[in-house]
Amino acid sequence: MSEKILWIDDEIDLLKPHIVFLEKKGYQVTPVNNVNEALELIDSEKFALTLIDENMPGISGLEAIPMIKEKDNSLKIVMVTKSEEEHIMEEAIGSQIADYILKPVNPNQILLSLKKNLQQDDLVEQKTILQYQQEFRNLSMELSYLRTYQDWAEYYKKILNWEIKFDKVADNEFADLLQSQKEEANIQFAKFIENNYEDWLHDSEKPVMSHTLFKEKVKPEVEKEKVLLLMIDNLRYDQWKVIEPLFTKHYNKISEDYYYSILPTATQYARNSFFAGLMPSEIEKRFPEKWFNDNEEGNKNEYERDFLEDQMKRIGLGSKSMKYLKVLNADFEKKIYDDFNQHKNNDLLVIVYNFIDILSHAKTDNHIVDQLIRDDKTFRSLTLNWFENSSLMKIIKAAAESGYKLVITTDHGTIYVKKPSKVVGDRETSTNIRYKTGKSLTYDDSDVWAITAPEKLFLPKGNLSSKYIFAKSNIFLAYPKNYNHFVNYYKETYQHGGISLEECIIPISILEPK
């Protein structure tokens, strides 16, 4: 079915050749020479788009825009004007026109505008599918040649770039094919981590990791100027790419990089490691009264500020003033914005922002959120919507105006789990769904990476025979008792703590005020 176009121009008879051209291209064009007649037509017919002359006798094009929108707010409007005056353009754009064309117009100009406004989604979808079909074989072949942590990071970024492109594609067949490629990549990535992770902790050739990130990436910035360090808990790389344009409204991106979260990819381990600049067993040794193992009572992220202050002293930033704030709810987020003038003179302002972690847990526990987040695509969409309407963006704007350089990062990512794997443990076994630690664990070797000597990975030992197991790919760990209930409760939820591209390879971006 061809698109119906309404063309409003007081000299419409002179545009007959243009109308014939568009009709040959498959559009149905209804020409009228005044706004009143056009408004009557909009009441009785459904149009996809209207072309309207800006300068007409009687009701002008600009005056007509709100009248048309009141009749049909979904109707796209393209304004045709001979004026290049800035205030005309601003008024038209402010009236929510879809496009404007400068006179004298030619048929191809109009055709391009119609395609852009009426067929863009279809054209983007066709182009995306064609490009992916061409790239599919390359991605499959490249997977066999990934050898280094740099290779894996670049491959993962290619995958998520396609995922974000497919967010705009209705054809799920190819998005599903991409997901299959990512699942296969995660299987191979787990093998890569098993073969290399311990070496990273003892050799010099290693990626930037949780315990080295602050010293290697944040310290050089704090030494030069004041920095807002925004730690967004549980932020995946794909989510960062989706919300990045919100931050670049006020900041220019200087650099974007990745780093590898330590194992377990869980807040208690990874975020404490980031702030302390130490591995978990080193934190336990240095701060025995401030580290709580999984099976011990206590707030396991209560001392992040203390860990950061200690690290700053150790690495030569002891003279710098630092303010640490943790946002756990929208009210405190708003309070930080309201009180921003009290914080803006610190050399280092740290904000830990817990929204995404709260959201991912809410999918497990809240039926409404579970329905809103059905897959990674909807998770990205809801993340963007939250940030767009959050007080955090007001804080970011205020920080830019105050001259703060901005460092955005996270502690770990999260993965959408699908496959259960049975684990047997005693009452001292930790409860995490993606990793477990304890002294009596029975499990399927093919589903987990088992660590029998935690000290080699700088992990604390609850007792002499403690071991750790990390779930691979999209597996989650389930107890045999009430197995079916457990599986139904946690299947297709977001979890972290194990080994996957989504959990391990995470972003750090440095930006400067515009």
Q: Of 484, 431, 430, which is closest to residue 461 (Cα–Cα)? A: 430
CATH number of 210-414+503-513: 3.40.720
Q: Of 506, 483, 487, which is closest to residue 417 (Cα–Cα)? A: 487
pLDDT in tens, the chain (514 residues): 478 999 999 999 999 999 999 999 999 999 999 999 999 999 999 999 999 998 899 898 889 988 998 888 889 899 888 866 666 666 656 667 888 888 888 888 888 888 888 877 777 777 888 888 888 889 999 999 999 999 999 999 999 999 998 888 876 788 888 999 999 999 999 999 999 999 999 887 899 999 999 999 999 999 999 999 999 999 999 999 999 999 999 999 999 999 999 999 999 999 999 999 999 999 999 999 999 988 888 788 999 999 999 999 999 999 999 999 999 888 999 999 999 999 999 999 999 999 888 888 888 888 888 888 989 999 999 999 999 999 999 999 999 999 999 999 999 999 999 999 999 988 888 889 999 998 889 999 999 999 999 999 999 987 777 899 999 999 999 988 889 988 999 999 999 999 999 999 999 999 999 9
Architecture label for domain 4-118: 3-Layer(aba) Sandwich (3.40)
Q: How deeply is 137 buried, as exposed, middle or buried, from its count of CB atoms within 10 A (0-12, 13-18, 19+)?
A: exposed
Tokens of 462: 């609850």
The secondary element (H helix, E strand) that includes residue 449 is strand 448-451
Give residue limits of the domains in the chain.
Answer: 4-118, 121-200, 210-414+503-513, 416-499
State the alpha helices, DSSP H only, in 143-232: 149-166, 172-200, 210-213, 219-224
